[in-house]
Amino acid sequence: MKLISHMNDDQDLTQPWLDYYMQRGITAFHIVVHGSREENAKLFELKNSYPIIIAAQYDGEFTSEKKQGHINSVLSTLRGQWVMLADSDEFVELPYRSIWATVMILRLFEATALYAPMLQRLTRDGSIHNPVISDPFREFPLCSADLYRKMGVRATTSKYPLFHCSDSTFIDPGAHGRPNGPSTGLSPLRGVTHHFKWKQSVLKRLSSRINSSHTWRHESEAFDAYLKENGYRLPTSDSFPYSRQELARQGLLKRATLPALCRATVRKFATFLPSELQRIIRNSYQALKNNDVTVAVSSKNSVDSKELAAKSIVSSKTAPASAPQGRR
Task: Measure the CA–CA gap between 89 and 8, rounded to whole angstroms.
Answer: 10
- Topology (CATH level 3) of domain 2-255: Spore Coat Polysaccharide Biosynthesis Protein SpsA; Chain A (3.90.550)
Q: Tens of pLDDT along 159-214?
A: 999 999 999 999 998 889 999 999 999 999 999 999 999 988 887 888 877 877 76
Task: Measure the CA–CA gap between 2 and 71, rounded to whole angstroms.
Answer: 13
The model carries a pTM of 0.81
Phi, psi (deg, nearest 5) at residue 173: -55, -35
- Residue by residue, DSSP assigns 191-239 as -EEEE---STTHHHHHHHHHTS--TTHHHHHHHHHHHHHTTTB---TT-
160: left (phi over 0), alpha (psi -120 to 50) or beta: beta
Domain-wise residue ranges, the chain = 2-255, 273-315
Return the number of other C-beta atoms located less than 10 Å from residue 156's C-beta.
15
Task: Measure the CA–CA gap between 167 and 54, rounded to whole angstroms.
Answer: 23
Whole-number pLDDT of residue 320: 47
Q: What percent of the chain has pLDDT over 90?
A: 58
Amino acid identity of residue 310, one-letter, is: A
